[in-house]
Each structure stands twice: as structure tokens, then as C-alpha cells.
Amino acid sequence: MKEATNGTLLIAEPFLKDASFSRSVVLICKHSKNFGTLGFTLNKKLLTTLSDVVTDMEGYKIPLYLGGPMQKDTIHYIHQYPQYFTDAVEIAKGIYWGGNFETLKILIKNRTIEPNKVKFFLGYSGWDSEQLEEELIENTWIMCQANTVLVFDTKPSTVWNASLTQLGGKFKMLVHFPKDPQLN
């Protein structure tokens, strides 16, 4: 991939020391060179669940992920259910962002949808206009196209490895690099 777009996965290069993004995979949901970029970190699962933060969802122990370091007091979600939302945005084939939250809660409570086909995030990852492009030039990120298997079906602890493995070639070898080469 040459350029980041909606539906791009940003895979942190192996030696990135930034605590917010070390060995992270971020799904880009909105990208504009003029206005910036917004995405969600797929592999930072929290101990907190949906029922811990949404009072009328008690008993629904659906996992939450740290979407990124920005506005950690906001909830966002991606899903595979466009048929239930007129206001959801398709960001990659079979992956949708947002929609009416009240509708989503009803669908979960009625067991109309499978909770594993929805991912909830506290906060988001964000870049100012052109900031992401600068980081790409610096090789901070490796890019690949998102797909439903990586986003919804891969264990959070293996998303970084699986994303690099999917790219193959030299990227596949990066999964064996230590986090800190000085400790090797």
C-alpha cells in the first residue's frame, strides 16, 4: 500500500517505543490529508467490559478495547451489521463504523446480533492533517488492507503478528524481532 485510506491497518514497526502504540495495529476509519486521521487500536483489550461503562448494559460482558490515547471517555464501535443501521459508514469490505448506539443496545439485548461481530473502543487514535503522512515517511507504520478476519476473528494478542504474517515476505520475519534489540 502506498497511501493510507479508510480501511487501512497501521501496523507499528517492531521497535516503536511509543507506549501508546508499541506493537499496535490501528484500523483507520476516517482519513483526510487536510483534516487528519481517526482510527482504533485493535489489540489493546481492556479488563473493563461494556457493562462496566454503560449503565443500561449490565450483565453484557462484551470486551472493550483502548481505541487510542485521545478522548478515553468516549465509546466508539465497529461492526459487521450494516443492515440494521442507516447511519453506519463502511470503512472496508464487511467492516462498518458507528450507527445509532440505542439501536445497537437493543440488538444486543434481543440477541439479534452476535457480540463477537462488534468491537467497542474507549477513546481513539488521532493524527493532525499530514501528521500520519510524516510518520509513514519515517517508517513508523507498515500498512495493509483491513479484513474481517484480522479485525473481528483474530485474538487481540496475535493481531500484530497475524497482520505482518498476512503481508508475507520480509514483513513476516518481523514477528520474530524482539521489542528491544538492546536486550537481545
Domain-located, residue 53: yes
How many other CB atoms sit within 10 Å of the CB of residue 105? Answer: 15
Domain-located, residue 2: no
Domain-located, residue 73: yes
Domain-located, residue 97: yes
Domain count, the chain: 1
SS3 labels along 38-55:
EEEECCCEEEEEHHHHCH
pTM: 0.92
Tens-digit pLDDT profile for the chain (184 aa)? 578 899 999 999 988 888 889 999 999 999 988 889 999 999 999 999 999 999 999 989 999 999 999 999 999 999 999 999 999 999 999 999 999 999 999 999 999 999 999 999 999 999 998 899 999 999 999 999 999 999 999 999 999 999 999 988 888 777 666 565 555 5
**Domain CATH number, residue 142:** 3.40.1740.10
Q: Give the dihedral sign, CA 89/137/15/13.
A: positive
How many other CB atoms sit within 10 Å of the CB of residue 167? Answer: 17
Distance CA 12, CA 23 (A): 5
Domain-located, residue 113: yes
Domain-located, residue 3: no
Structural domain that includes position 162 = 8-183
Q: Is 165 left (phi over 0), alpha (psi -120 to 50) or beta?
A: alpha
Question: In the prediction, which pLDDT does 179 show?
Answer: 64
Domain-located, residue 116: yes
C-alpha cell at 131: 501528521
**Which residue in 6, 3, 16, 5 sits closest to 160, CA to CA?**
16
